[in-house]
Structure 1
Amino acid sequence: MLVYNQEELVRFVEEAKQYARYGKVADYIPALGKADPNELSIAIYTPDGRVVDAGDVTVKVTLQSISKIIALALVLIDRGEDEVFHKVGMEPTDYPFHSIAKLEEKPAKPLNPMINAGALVVTSMIQGSSVSERLERLLAFVRRLAGNECISYSDEVARSEFETAFLNRSLCYFLKQHRIIDEDVEELMELYTKQCAIEMTCIDLARIGFVLALDGRDPHSSEPLMPLDVARICKTFMVTCGMYNSSGEFAIKVGIPAKSGVSGGILAAVPGRCGIGVFGPALDDKGNSLTGVKLLERLSKTYSLSIF
């Protein structure tokens, strides 16, 4: 079994931090603009139940787009592949994650569940009779995956996103016009912004990553938390679409199934080997953690973590 050296991990974090000056925090969401761009932390969840970490892993990070992969898993469990992929596609895109352009093509369904339009469709499929019931259903699933019953969401970040989500509202109305979603737009936006504002530590992220790495099984009890096929689909999307429209470059340089969020979080799953959680708020021009990607590049090369 591969043993990760904590002193080496601390050194990698310090080296990657040097790139923070080239990045920028996601200040278009006012609450996220308060983050310190020099922050960088990582946790690795290993098969023997150990967590090797570096940086301040007690800092909570909101999931943002990382939540897309978790919501997809839940909806696939509830509704099955046929229903989900009738409304959202499976193909990667070189367009930005918030683009509306591709929706104008026929059929108008989003290309994949990792762009905002596709994620909004997936969130609209979460079961429940109210926003609060659907959010609690998603939170319960997140808590099981992370093994942490205390996980909730940041009301400040959710409100900040809800008040500034003009482009996402535009995507919703376009999708509603084409009958891909059929619910009240403001209710969907409330659910989606609270979903994105679910917050946790890097250790929680790493634990969820390890569940995916183990094909959906609990790391301690081996209980299935999601079906193997659902875990497989999620990891495939993480490879092809998880790092926005630099997913191909990430696959070549790092080679680990991963999903990023504009808060600076990255959830990664090395099949059968470990789960990784990273937080570095300094973003590149694609919306990925600049320092986090540099850190994962170094980690992958040192420990030969690429799946390719």
Structure 2
Amino acid sequence: MENLLNNIIKLNKKYTNFGQVASYIPELKNANSEDLGICIIDKDNNIHYAGDYKKKFTIQSVSKTIILAMALMDNDWSYVFSKVGMEPSGDPFNSIMKLETDDTKKPCNPMINAGAIVTTSLIKGTTLKEKEERMLAFFRKIAKNDDIKINQAVYESEKLTGDRNRAMAYLLKNDGVINGDVEEILDLYFKQCSIEVDCVDLARIGLLFANYGIDIETGERVISENVSRMVKTFMVTCGMYDASGEFAIKVGIPAKSGVGGGIMASVPRKMGIGVYGPSLDKKGNSIAGIKILEDLSKQLELSIF
């Protein structure tokens, strides 16, 4: 497996030259566009890796899967989906248009920014600090890494430049889709996106979803089967922004990307995959990361379709 992964990294390294690191969040510009790494953890808990798999990066939109799981665990699912839809948007992840034009006023799905702000608002806790502590504790548990923390510099950069997300949040508040203090909700949202991980962390989380919420080592049910299934379904239909359909055809596995360069993938009953490559395509996905997953899916016959 290591030989396969090393070869796939080597073959696809050239694609890092065809994208750009995210720049709309100033702190993300510091990433090395040539970084490329992968980690796979299979159902027997074997770990395989190659490339820059130890590099730390902020989880960004990959966090939307975990926050959705928390929101569904904290609330009745019918209430969650009264606030956010279940359909692909067909628009960029940071689009604001449908909040004005859609009759329901609720975001299309939890994987776009507006939808993720809604699910963040549904996390239980009496104070912002309590919510943040619960969120971090959950991330650490499912990644099996007690050292996971928020990258303060990225968080401050996100907060300083997050006017588009701020506009979405106030529209959602105005239309009664979210309740509570908008700035507190945004603060938690910016913090969740700024959680620092590596490929191993993403592979661990991906494996938990692949195993339908059961910890592969202990047998503990961490996430219900229904919630795990729902999250993976959203990963298939909406996880790669407005390139999700093409990704489903070419790769065929549940995956979620983030503009930090991470991609988390879950192959049901088989493995979790974490990929890192901060050079992004025009839709905000890791350009070489997608190529890696295409090759991996073909060679290991991973497509669920």
So what's the TM-score if we normalise by structure 1?
Answer: 0.97
Q: Give the letter for the 1:154 counterpart.
A: N
Tell me by how many angstroms 1:44 deviates.
0.1
Match of 1:135 in 2: 132
Tell me by how many angstroms 1:258 deviates.
0.2
Match of 1:290 in 2: 287
Give the share of equivalent positions with the same residue, in percent: 52
Establish whether residue 55 from structure 1 lines up as the match of residue 73 from structure 2: no
Q: Give the letter for the 1:212 counterpart.
A: F
Match of 1:113 in 2: 110
Tell me by how many angstroms 1:270 deviates.
0.2
Match of 1:247 in 2: 244
Match of 1:172 in 2: 169
Match of 1:228 in 2: 225
Alpha-carbon separation, structure 2, partners of 1:287 and 1:280: 11
Match of 1:18 in 2: 14
Match of 2:263 in 1: 266
Which one of 30, 42, 48 corresponds to residue 34 of structure 1? 30
Matches within 5 A, 1:145-160: 145-160=142-157
Alpha-carbon separation, structure 2, partners of 1:37 and 1:301: 25
Match of 1:210 in 2: 207
Secondary structure of 1:153's counterpart equals: coil
Where in structure 2 are there 5+ consecutive unaligned residues? none
Q: Is the 8 A contact 2:12 2:291 kept in 1?
A: yes
The range that moved more, 180-189 or 117-126, is: 180-189
Deviations 1:154-210 (A, max 9, x none): 001000000000100000111011011122222112111001001111001101000
Q: Give the letter for the 2:13 counterpart.
A: K
Tell me by how many angstroms 1:18 deviates.
0.4
Which one of 91, 95, 103 corresponds to residue 99 of structure 1? 95
Deviating 4+ runs (over 3 angstroms): none
Q: Give the letter for the 1:123 counterpart.
A: T
Tell me by how many angstroms 1:107 deviates.
0.9
Tell me by how many angstroms 1:124 deviates.
0.5
Match of 2:119 in 1: 122
Match of 2:71 in 1: 75
Secondary structure of 1:65's counterpart equals: helix
Matches within 5 A, 1:175-214: 175-214=172-211
Alpha-carbon separation, structure 1, partners of 2:57 and 2:271: 20
Deviations 1:212-251 (A, max 9, x none): 0000000111110100000000000000000000000000
Q: Give the letter for the 1:137 counterpart.
A: R
Match of 2:60 in 1: 64
Tell me by how many angstroms 1:27 deviates.
0.9
Alpha-carbon separation, structure 2, partners of 1:17 and 1:189: 36
Alpha-carbon separation, structure 1, partners of 2:54 and 2:90: 35
Alpha-carbon separation, structure 2, partners of 1:211 and 1:83: 25
Q: Is the 8 A contact 2:52 2:276 kept in 1?
A: no
Alignment length (residue pairs) = 304
Where in structure 1 are there 5+ consecutive unaligned residues? none
Deviations 1:109-154 (A, max 9, x none): 0010001000000001111122221011111111111111111110
Q: Give the letter for the 2:42 counterpart.
A: T
Deviations 1:43-79 (A, max 9, x none): 0001221110001222112110000010000110110
Match of 1:86 in 2: 82
Secondary structure of 1:31's counterpart equals: helix
